[in-house]
Amino acid sequence: MPKANETVLEIDLSALTHNFNYLKSKLKPNTKFLAVVKAFAYGSDSVAIAKHLEMLNVDYLAVAYAKEGVLLREAGVTTPILVLHPQPVNFITIIKHCLEPSIYSQRILDEFVKVAEAEHQNNYPIHIKFNTGLNRLGFWENDIDLIASKLSRTKAIKAKSLFSHLAASEDKNEIEFTKNQIASFKSIAEDFKSKLDYSPWLHLCNTSGIINYPEGHLDMVRSGIGLYGFGNSATEDKQLKPIASLKSVISQIHNIEKGETVGYNRVYKAEGFETTATIPIGHADGITRIYGKGNGFVFVNGQKAPIIGNVCMDMIMVNVTGINCKEGDEVIIFDGLHKASNLAESSGTISYEIITAISQRVKRNIIPA
C-alpha cells in the first residue's frame, strides 16, 4: 500500500472477507449470518462494507437506527435490514424503505401495528426482542401471551424472528449466567412458538457467543465487532484481521530544550533536549483527550512515540526523541499490526470506542478485496 500523505482511514475488504469466512466456519451450514453495520459499520464505511457483505451472500444486515438503513437502501443495498432500536417517528420511513423493526415493548408494538395497518401492510416482517438479562431493551417472559394475542388480531405484521442479546458472552467468569440466558431464551421461544401457527427464526449470539457458545447459534447469529477484526479475547484476535488502518503524517518537527512545554495548558514539560512531531489528527477526528498526557501512542517508522500534552482539536504532538524521522513521514495510529485494541487498552477503554469514534471528516480509502 502507498504511504499516507494525509490523515486517512484505510479499509481493507480482503480482511473483511477473511473475518466473515472465519466466523462462518464456526457455524452449521444452515445457520444464517446477520452482519451488524451500525455506526458507519463500526466507524469504517457502512455502504462499502454492506455492499461487500452482500457480495459474500450475507443473510441479513442490522443497523441501530432507521436513517442508517435508509442510507444503505439509497445506495442500492437490497439485503434484508433489521433496525435494532427504532422509534415510532420513523415507522413510516421504515416501511417505505423495506426495513424491518425490532419490536421491544408494548408501546412500540402498538405503534407499529397502527402504522402498518394505516399503510395497508400484510404480514410486514418484525423481529420481537426479549430481555433475558442484559436489561437494556426487550419484552419480559410474562409478555408472551400479550404479544401473541396482538399478533393474532392483525394481519398487518408477522414475527420474522424472536431474539435476545447476551450480556457477557466474552467473560469466562460469567459462563453460568450466559448459559442461563441461553436456556431462558430457548424456553421463551418454545412457549411463544406454541401460540403461533408458524415458527419464527431464533437468534441470540453475538461475536463472542459465536465463538464460545455453539449451543446458542440457533437459526441465525449476529456479528459486529468480529467482522471488523476483534474477537474479545487474545486467542481469537489472532484469528481475525482488523479491517481498518488509521494513518497520518508528520506535519512539523520541533527541537525543544529542558523546561520548555508542549501544547495547551503547558501540561508537558521537557526533561531535557527533546524532539517532538506534530500530526494532523485530533479530538475532532476521534482521538479524544484520554489519549493525551502519555496515555496513548503512535508508531513512526516502526517505533513507538507517546502522545504528549493535551490532544488538540485537529492535532496531536508526539515525542520522537531518538526516532529517525522527518517531516512528511507516515505515522500509524493503528493498523493490523499495531492494533486499535492495544491503543484503547492503554487509556482504559475498548476497541469499539476508538474505531467507532473516527470522525467522518477523516478520508476513507477502500482497499478492494
Q: Which residues are catalytic?
A: 38, 264
DSSP for residue 139: B
**DSSP three-state, residue 197:** coil
Query: Which strand (E) or helix (H) includes residue 307?
Result: strand 303-308
DSSP for residue 277: E
**DSSP three-state, residue 355:** helix
3-state helix, strand, coil in the chain (%, to 5): 35, 25, 40
Residue closest to 84 by CA, chosen among 66, 69, 102: 102
Tally the C-alpha atoms within 13 A of residue 300's C-alpha that lie toward its C-beta.
26
**DSSP three-state, residue 290:** helix
Alpha carbon distance 79, 55 (integer Å): 10
Sign of the CA dihedral 130, 134, 136, 142?
positive
Cβ within 8 Å of residue 360, ≥6 positions away:
40
Cβ within 8 Å of residue 190, ≥6 positions away:
none
**Amino acid found at 264:** Y
Per-residue CA distances from 367 to 2, 80, 235, 257, 340 (Å)? 11, 25, 26, 42, 19
